[in-house]
Amino acid sequence: MTFTIEHEHPGTDELTALYDAVGWTTYTADPAALGAAVAGSHTVLTARGDDGRLLGLLRTISDGITVVYVQDVLVVPDAHRSGIGGALLDEALRRYAGVRQTVLLTDAEDGQRAFYESRGFVEVHDVEPAPLRSFVLLR
């Protein structure tokens, strides 16, 4: 599968279709809020097929200097395991190479750990020499 990585902000209809395709219905319950969240992101990278179809998206929240949060990494199910997620994440890591701390919170799905570890991430409880703590408040 061939695709191109771009820095762009897709429209609300494309975003809603992509987030729906991966089952992230909490986001798609309010398409206007989803559009605003993506528009307010520091960086939005997309993967598009040769036909222009939106295949994947990665977005970050950051100050651009000390910390970057990889907020969302999504790939349409029929394009899983085609290299799109890795290409999106690699491009984001390249863009933020000078940032001290890259943070990511994700579901505990099979394969997630191996994928992120392949890009140099470490689960927070495995950080050496001193373990870190991670906290989250979900509403």
pLDDT tens for 4-33 read 999 999 999 999 999 999 999 999 999 999
User: Does some domain include residue 53?
Assistant: yes
pLDDT value at 87 more than 90: yes
User: Does some domain include residue 136?
Assistant: no
- Determine the Cα–Cα distance for residues 36 and 41; give it in Å rounded to an integer: 9
State the pLDDT at residue 46: 98
Q: List, for residues 42-74, the tens digit of each pLDDT value.
A: 999 999 999 999 999 999 999 999 999 999 999
CATH code of residue 50: 3.40.630.30
pLDDT value at 77 more than 90: yes
Q: List, for residues 101-135, the tens digit of each pLDDT value.
A: 999 998 888 788 899 999 999 988 888 877 788 88
User: Does some domain include residue 133?
Assistant: no
Q: Are 56 and 84 in contact (CB under 8 A)?
A: yes
State the pLDDT at residue 64: 95
- Determine the Cα–Cα distance for residues 58 and 85; give it in Å rounded to an integer: 8
State the pLDDT at residue 30: 96
Q: Print the domain residue range for 115.
A: 3-126
Helix (H) or strand (E) holding 22: none
SS3 98: coil
